[in-house]
Amino acid sequence: MPAWIARLVGLIAIGAAVNVYWMHGRAPQVPADIHRPERTVSGQTLTSMHAPAVALEFAPGFAYAGAQRFLLYNVASAEQHFFVDADADKRIRRMYWVQFEGYLPDNTSTYDYSKSQGRAQIGGLEFFTDTYAAAVTPPRRPDSDGARARELLQSKGYRYPAEVLSIRLVHLTDATRRAELMIIYAEDLASFGVTAEQVAEPKMQELSAEILKRARQNLRVIRTAARGGQ
């Protein structure tokens, strides 16, 4: 199982491979507004003015489910936004999890996606891509971004399918590799007519291509001019 799966354990069994810097007893330099989301949402459009400066437009079938921002593992600032397509009982059929993340200035850590499965261009941005089919399981760490995502969606009444097919798309915002835009698109695996146990090569290659196609169909990425921020 790839190391990045740990990041999304408990929601869609996906995670991220990052170099984590621990503070060794020092208090992190936390922004005063760490709990206030910086990005804005209007209708189906999520706008970020920096890191990166981009507008994300989601298809009408996806309802905005909310946002949150928090200190992640005492080393990074993370801001999450969710767009969800669910049935009448709020069981998730498809969803986008968008996360803007960056390391705090008092550490020297960087993100490393050199072992990702592939790359894709969307809206002029290059993304590292990884796909995984898995059962939805309880989170291993209550302080993880996956656990926090799960809590927010559950607080809105959303329920998860038993298994999901997910693709993680990660764009590193500059050459320092210290900030990223992560987009995770997930669908109920049952809609593909298979179970997680049945997914193996070459079926996985076929599913990876299909989930990337669907993620692109329902999302438009537009680069914009940066305004302030870091």
Domains of the chain, residue spans: 34-187+214-223
30 bridge partner residues: none
pLDDT at res. 227: 66
pLDDT at res. 5: 46
**3-class DSSP state of 184:** strand
Residue 21 to residues 2, 128, 156, 178, Cα–Cα distance (Å): 20, 22, 33, 12
pLDDT at res. 29: 74
Nearest alpha carbon to residue 80 among 64, 98, 103? 98
Element (H, E) at 86: strand 76-86
**CA 199 – CA 10 distance, rounded (Å):** 20
Q: How confident is the prediction along the chain (230 residues), in pLDDT tens digits per residue?
A: 443 344 544 444 333 333 433 334 466 777 778 899 999 999 999 999 999 999 999 999 999 999 999 999 999 999 999 999 999 999 999 999 999 999 999 999 999 999 999 999 999 999 999 999 999 998 889 999 999 999 999 999 999 999 999 999 999 999 999 999 999 999 999 999 999 999 888 889 999 999 999 999 999 999 998 765 44
- The pTM of this model reads 0.88
Element (H, E) at 42: strand 40-42
CB 59 within 8 A of CB 217: yes
